[in-house]
Structure 1
Amino acid sequence: MKFVVSSTELLSHLNAISKVISSKNTLPILDNYLFQLEDNRLTITASDLESTLITSLDLDNTEGNGDVAVPAKLLNDTLKEFPEQPLTFQINGETSAIDIYSENGKFSIVGQNGEDFPALPELKEEAAATIEVNHDVLQNGIAKTLFATADDELRPVMNGIFVELGAEDLTFVASDAHKLVRYRRSDAKAEIESSFILPKKPAALLKNLLPKEEFDVKLQFDDKNAFFTLSNYKLICRLVEGNYPSYNSVIPSNNSNKMTVDRLELYNTIKRVSVFANQASNLVKLHIDDNQLVVSAQDVDFSISAVERLKCQYEGDEIEIGFKSTFLLEILANLSTSDVRVELSDPTRAGLLLPAEKDFDEEDVLMLLMPMMINA
């Protein structure tokens, strides 16, 4: 088979799907892209068995049909060095030898039989659910929650984003037992109530692909796999099996102490003060009273300390609470509004961080952080 393709267009598609290829593949064939040519359409697949990304290009100049596995790293490294130009791929169906002709040269690669590439999982029609999701909703849901997923080998359900489809809204939840993020959209609904846990790697792949998307994403899933169909890409991933913990039960409801403060000022203050925190605990203390927030940290071992004061709006009793600075900075970095509202009940219970004003009415963002013992 033979086809002509633009070097930069091909590289652009390969860069988008190459991130799925693992550096420690159990099957050598997975170090390759699967090229399939059929009726002027080139379909390229990359997989690590758990996640599979498929993209396709429409070509004008092709001869014959067929498939071949092409070494991914070698092809990517070669294409990076080409300026924009048409490349002619000539593939021997019997030997899987690949010759690439450029304007001035010829490059020969040894491919593999495309039939050795693992077959794609199939959706169980009787157990499958299908929903059209706005690309923007999916992008924001993943972007706002991905940072809060865990790396916990003992509890794999915590290593993904819990996606809950309901008649009223669509909810994304992630937690690592220290912090929790709940992102809810009332402008996205499903006819049937269902849920699944999206693993971290395919979530990160979607986060990279969705900003370029302009249309709704078709989402199909059963008890084992999820299929995301975008304009130019299709992602298939194995879902995390198991039941997600009841996240609503850990969100405190009666928080009598409420503070509103400039998010960027608080972020920069914590960044400066946390340099002086104990390196093992990263503990920073927040002391709030009378519209003033005092952020402090100290490392007794090195006799160093830091204190900074910030103006805030505060309703409630005088309170001092400790947080791990790295987690607090992560949460503040992932809130987008200019002011942040912090809701606290007492120093031993989780604190809530919320946007002081919503970007738009249909969005509901809640971030929760467990406190640290101040006197430990």
Structure 2
Amino acid sequence: MRFTLSSTALSSRLQSLSRVINSKNSLPILDCFLFEVRNNQLSITASDSENVIQSAIGLDTCEGEGEFAVPNRTILDAVKELPEQPLTFNVDINKFTVEVVYQNGIYHFTAQNAGEYPHTQAIPDGATVITIDSGVLSDNISRSLFATAQNELRPVMNGVYFDLTADGLAIVASDGQKLVRNRNFNIKSDTPASFILPKKPATLLKNVLGRDGGDVVIKFDDRNAEVRFADGVLSCRLIEGRFPNYNKVIPTDNPNQLVIDRKVLLSALRRVLPFASESSLLVRFHLEMGNLEISSEDIDFATSAKENITCDYTGQPMNIGFKGSSLTEILSNLDSEEVTISLGDPSRAGIIVPVTQPENCDVLMLIMPMLLND
């Protein structure tokens, strides 16, 4: 079997697929990429047994068809330093030998038997299907990932929750201290359905999805999901269990409203945060009409910082504390120039929303306050 393809196309595709491969695998064959040549296309598969991602590249020339497995480090290291040029693969399927010819040289290495590579189970008929724009899905996942938990006792919090209802599709993540809810009003279903996508496949999707439009089709049942996008397909095991009622923890009557430039607030937080206590990372807000004072201190090391920002604030004068690192993450994962922060009292969760929402979407972030020792 012989085929030719672009070196940069192969290298970039291998780099994105390699993220699924674990450093230590239960099956030695999972250290490999599976190469399948069919219909003038090269299909590449990578897996860690729970997550499988597959992508296809068009071939310039092709003689013969077949499949073989290639050690991931061997092929990655071989092609990543090559400038753009055609690569010619000569493969002997019977002897498992691979020869890669490039402009100034040649590689020889041994392939593995593709028959040992595990194959994924297809999602059965009758599964729920969601169709969503690839850019929208990528943005929603990117906005949500930072809020997922790492909680062995409550694994349902360790992923991104997709909640399909008659009102729309909500994509949610929370670690109990902060919460992100993305609502898309274009995608609805009279039959409610939901699933929890683990962090690893969510991160893989974030890295492979294009922002240039095109539909992504998500097919899922109680245990597995299959995500088809322009360049390939991702199959993964889902987190089983019931996600908490996220709407119940979002206050609807926070009367104190702060409208502020997101980047100005983010910069001020980054200047003040290094002076906060390392154990708590507590940052104090003092709010009054037209002014926000941000302060932090570490009594043990006798350090403190304070900064005033002009803002649009309507409400009662208030002192409230937040974990500075969580607030920084929230502001970093919003795009709007200005944000509205809605507050109730120093013990109630604060709501942060972009002043300019994405089209047909509603983005909301929540942060729990920290106790102030006045």
Q: Return the offset for 1:116.
A: 0.5
| Secondary structure, aligned partner of 1:367 | strand
Contact 2:218/2:225, CA 8 A, preserved across alignment: yes
* Percent identity over paired residues: 45
Matched length: 374
Contact 2:5/2:58, CA 8 A, preserved across alignment: no
What's the counterpart of residue 237 of structure 1? 236
Moved over 3 A (4+): none
What's the counterpart of residue 35 of structure 2? 35
Output one character per residue of 1:33-82: Cα deviation in whole Å (capped at 9) or x when no partner.
00111232221100111111101122242222221110111101110122
Output one character per residue of 1:276-295: Cα deviation in whole Å (capped at 9) or x when no partner.
11111110100111221111
Q: Return the offset for 1:191.
A: 5.3
Distance between the aligned counterparts of 1:184 and 1:367, measured in 2?
Answer: 11
Contact 2:218/2:226, CA 8 A, preserved across alignment: yes
What's the counterpart of residue 370 of structure 2? 372
**Residue 226 in structure 1 maps to residue 228 in structure 2:** no
Distance between the aligned counterparts of 1:140 and 1:83, measured in 2?
Answer: 31
| Secondary structure, aligned partner of 1:306 | strand
Q: Cα distance 1:55–1:372, how it changes in 2: closer, same or farther (>3 A)?
A: same
Q: Return the offset for 1:335.
A: 1.5
The range that moved more, 187-196 or 249-258, is 187-196
**Residue 24 in structure 1 maps to residue 24 in structure 2:** yes
Gaps of 5+ in 1: none
What's the counterpart of residue 254 of structure 1? 253
Gaps of 5+ in 2: none
What's the counterpart of residue 184 of structure 1? 183
For the aligned residue pairs, the C-alpha RMSD in angstroms reads 1.5
Contact 2:7/2:79, CA 8 A, preserved across alignment: yes
Q: Return the offset for 1:212.
A: 4.9
Distance between the aligned counterparts of 2:331 and 2:200, measured in 1?
Answer: 23
Distance between the aligned counterparts of 2:241 and 2:353, measured in 1?
Answer: 29
Output one character per residue of 1:236-265: Cα deviation in whole Å (capped at 9) or x when no partner.
111111110111111112212111112111
Distance between the aligned counterparts of 2:211 and 2:69, measured in 1?
Answer: 27
What's the counterpart of residue 285 of structure 1? 284
Contact 1:131/1:190, CA 8 A, preserved across alignment: no
What's the counterpart of residue 66 of structure 1? 66
- Code of the aligned partner of 2:373: N
Q: Return the offset for 1:109.
A: 0.8
Distance between the aligned counterparts of 2:271 and 2:87, measured in 1?
Answer: 53
Q: Return the offset for 1:213.
A: 4.7
| Secondary structure, aligned partner of 1:147 | helix
| Secondary structure, aligned partner of 1:195 | strand
- Code of the aligned partner of 1:370: M
Output one character per residue of 1:71-111: Cα deviation in whole Å (capped at 9) or x when no partner.
11110111012222222212222221111122333211111
- Code of the aligned partner of 2:92: N
Contact 1:96/1:111, CA 8 A, preserved across alignment: yes
TM-score (norm. length: structure 1):
0.96
What's the counterpart of residue 276 of structure 1? 275
**Residue 47 in structure 1 maps to residue 47 in structure 2:** yes
What's the counterpart of residue 91 of structure 1? 91
- Code of the aligned partner of 1:44: I
Q: Return the offset for 1:269.
A: 1.1
Distance between the aligned counterparts of 2:324 and 2:85, measured in 1?
Answer: 50
